[in-house]
Amino acid sequence: MNREKILDYLYGEMAPDEKVVFEKTIAINAVLQKEIDEFQMVREYLGQSKDQTGSPIQMVVNAPVRRNLWNRWWTVAASLLLLLMAGKFLDLRVTIDQHQLSIGYGNLQSVSVDPNLELQQQYVMLGKSLGDLQSQLASYQEMVSHPEQTLPSGQKVDMRELAKMVGNMVEKEQETTENRLAEKILEDQQIAIQSMAQGLIRYWDEQRKNDLQMINTGMENLVRAVQMNSQDLTQFVNNTQQNY
Amino acid sequence: MINQETSTSIDLVQRLRKGEAGAYQKIVDQWQNRVFNFALRYSNDQHFASEVVQKTFIQVFEKIDQLKDPSKLKSWLYKIASNNCCSEGRLKAKSNYTQLEEQNLHTLDLDTPAKRYEKAELKTVVEEVLQQIPDEQRQVIIMKEYEGLKFREIAEILGESENTIKSRMYYGLDAMRKILINKNLSKDLYHE
């Protein structure tokens, strides 16, 4: 009885009126008082470790994606659609009727499981069917890896020739593209050279005019200077003759 | 009257059930430190605690549809963590004090070196003593002392009666009291 009350009192889970009565009991009971004091001491020790907290070393929990049922059904529907499309190309057949699910392709015999059989027999049938299907798929894989293939139209194709043809087409296209690119570069270069030549001609023309003007001015100045010098020379000669 | 924590729990559980990954992340963010500390005190081993956190939140995600009352998320979460502590505890060896001491070095403490040393010693002693009492008593003491759960809540989490829980608590505290007295750790020494 005391055990539960001690704990309720220590952890403050005692009703107020009950607490008053209990405290009166403690006051007159030295053994109970000692017990409560010692329990309180243990709690104080435990409290020393209260800040001893941490967090996970790493964030180890990642939020996984929780898909609801609706999404799952859409996934199934999409898978079936994909299977039917693949079946169209690979001549794969999936047949579902009232009693059987059959999967097969080409002219090979289809495999089936009859749900009316006993469960154990169904497992045996399913195992056999899966084995058959596996061997069919293996033969299909071998067929696909063969260099000579027959298209659904019946036309025979040599895969090596086809690869060569595609390679040639790619190479030719690449060559054409390179040629087009080279032509464009040449055209651009020609335009740039023409533009530069025209600019030079304009510059030279202007320069020539300036040079001519300068030469003419120089010539005029020279003629004038010569004339002046000639007058001076005549005067000098006359003066000299007069002195001698 | 529904408190803030309960209404948040209800909302998060409902959103998680609808498949919202954000709701799961919020539950993890809100609870991972508490679960970690609970497991750390139970085991005194950081790797153990990390394992428990990981397992607990994976189970929360996987079994959220099994939670009948979304307002009981807290109790349910502790129940899973508590079960994981028990199952993990059976597999792994207990106690690795080195890691806890290493962690202490990173906490800001303005005490003198001597006082710091004394406190660290005391913590180590308390953790050692806690590890010496039976698992079921330790679990109840941790939930009560460190997680602040009511006796009623602990009883709900552990699927026991309130009286059984109080009984475990009493015997747990009593066992710790005896060990501490045997170690000559009196209240006077603690208050020095």
Nearest to B103 by CA among B46, B177, B57: B46
Q: Which amino acid is at A146?
A: H
What band does B137 get if pLDDT is binned at 50, 70 and 90?
A: very high
Supply the pLDDT for residue B165: 93
Contact residues on chain B for A45, CB-CB shorter than 8 A: 122, 125-126, 129, 176, 180, 185, 190
- Determine contact, residues B57/A64, Cβ cutoff 8 Å: no
pLDDT at site B128:
85
Q: pLDDT confidence of B143, banded at 50, 70, 90?
A: very high
* B58 → chain A, closest CA residue: A61
Residues B71 and B1 in one domain: yes
DSSP B70: G
pLDDT in tens, A23-42: 999 999 998 999 999 899 88
In angstroms, the separation between the Cα of residue B61 and the nearest Cα of chain A is 8
Whether residue A71 is predicted with pLDDT greater than 70 in this model: the reply is no
Pair B77, B146 in one domain: no
Q: Which residues of A touch B30 (CB under 8 A)?
A: none
Assess if residue B102 is contained within a domain. no
Report yes or no: B25 and A29 within 8 Å, Cβ to Cβ.
no
Chain A residue nearest residue B47, CA to CA: A57
Q: What is the mean pLDDT of residues A135-143?
A: 65
Beta-ladder partners of A111: A103
Same domain, B11 and B80: yes
- Cβ(B5)–Cβ(B74) under 8 Å? yes
In the block, tokens 């530069």 appear at A196
DSSP state of A168: H
Round to whole Å and give the CA distance between B20 and A39.
47
Are the CB atoms for B120 and B136 separated by under 8 Å?
no
Q: Is residue B101 part of a domain?
A: no
Contacts of B25 in chain A (CB under 8 A): 63
% of chain A surpassing 70 pLDDT: 56
Q: Is residue B133 included in any domain, yes or no?
A: yes
Mapped onto helix, strand or coil, the DSSP state of residue B50 is helix
In a domain, B136, yes or no: yes
What pairing do the DSSP bridges indicate for beta strands A148-150 and A101-105?
unpaired
Between the alpha carbon of residue A183 and those of residues A107, A171, A172, A187, A195, the distances in Å are 56, 18, 16, 6, 18
Mean pLDDT of chain A: 71
- Give residue limits of the domains in chain A: 2-46, 95-145
Instruction: Say if residue B88 is in the same domain as residue B144.
Output: no
- One domain for residues B87 and B2: yes
Single-letter code of the amino acid located at B54: Q
Q: A160: distance to nearest CA of chain B, Å? A: 50
Q: Is B128 exposed, middle or buried (0-12, 13-18, 19+ CB in 10 A)?
A: middle
Q: By CA distance, what is B31's nearest residue in A?
A: A55
Q: In chain A, which residues have their Cβ closer than 8 Å to the Cβ of B48? A: none
Q: Which pLDDT tens digit goes with each residue over A38-56? A: 899 889 888 877 765 666 6
Q: How far apart are CA A190 and CA A79, in angstroms?
A: 60
Q: Which two tokens stand for residue B172?
A: 């747990």
Classified as helix, coil or strand, B186 is coil
Tokens representing A42? 């243990």
Same domain, B4 and B83: yes
How far apart (Å, rounded) are the C-alpha atoms in residues A139 and A122? 25
How close B110 gets to chain A, by Cα (Å)? 14
Quickly count: other Cβ atoms within 10 Å of residue A143's Cβ: 12
pLDDT of the residue at B140: 93
Distance of alpha carbon A99 from the chain centroid: 47
Q: Which residue has the tokens 């045997």?
A: B182
Nearest chain B residue to A68, by CA: B19
Helix ranges, chain A (H): 2-10, 16-28, 30-48, 69-90, 119-145, 159-243
pLDDT tens digits along A85-114: 555 555 555 555 555 555 555 544 444 555
> Does position A224 have pLDDT exceeding 60, yes or no?
yes
Q: Can you give the CATH number for the domain in which B127 is found?
A: 1.10.10.10
Q: What angle do CA A15, A18, A21 make, to 5 degrees?
A: 150
The tally of domains found in chain B comes to 2
A129 contacts A137 by C-beta, under 8 angstroms: no
Residues B192 and B146 placed together within one structural domain of the fold: yes
Query: Same domain, yes or no, for B82 and B124?
Result: no
In this predicted structure, the answer to whether residue B105 has a pLDDT above a threshold of 70 is no
CB contact under 8 A, A42 and B180: yes
What confidence tier does A67 reach under pLDDT thresholds 50, 70, 90? very low
My answer on whether B81 and B120 are in the same domain is: no
B168 and B139 share one domain:
yes
Burial of B73 (0-12, 13-18, 19+ CB in 10 A): buried
Any B CB within 8 A of A67 CB: yes
Residues B86 and B112 in one domain: no
Q: At what angle do helices B162-182 and A30-48 cross, to 10 degrees?
A: 80
CB contact under 8 A, A48 and B177: no
Looking at every residue in chain B, the average pLDDT score rounds to 80
pLDDT at residue B169 tops 90? yes
Report the residue from A7, A41, A55 with minimal CB separation from B169. A7
Q: Assess if residue B86 is contained within a domain.
A: yes
Closest by CA position to B137, among listed A7, A181, A22, A224 = A7
In 3D space, the residue among B19, B5, B70, B107 whose CA is nearest the CA of residue A51 turns out to be B107
**What's the domain range around B28?**
1-96
Out of B45, B72, B96, a domain closes at B96
Using 50, 70 and 90 to split pLDDT, how confident is the model at B155?
A: very high
Are residues B185 and B165 part of one domain?
yes
Tokens of A71: 């999404």
More confident residue, B140 or A145: B140
What's the rounded mean pLDDT across residues B162-189?
83
- Best CA proximity match to B71, nearest among B178, B161, B156: B156
CATH number for the domain including B82? 1.10.1740.10
Whether residue B16 and residue A60 make contact (CB cut-off 8 A), yes or no, is no
Q: What is the pLDDT of residues B77-88, one digit of tens each?
A: 999 999 988 887
Q: What are phi and psi of A91, to 5 degrees?
A: 60, 35
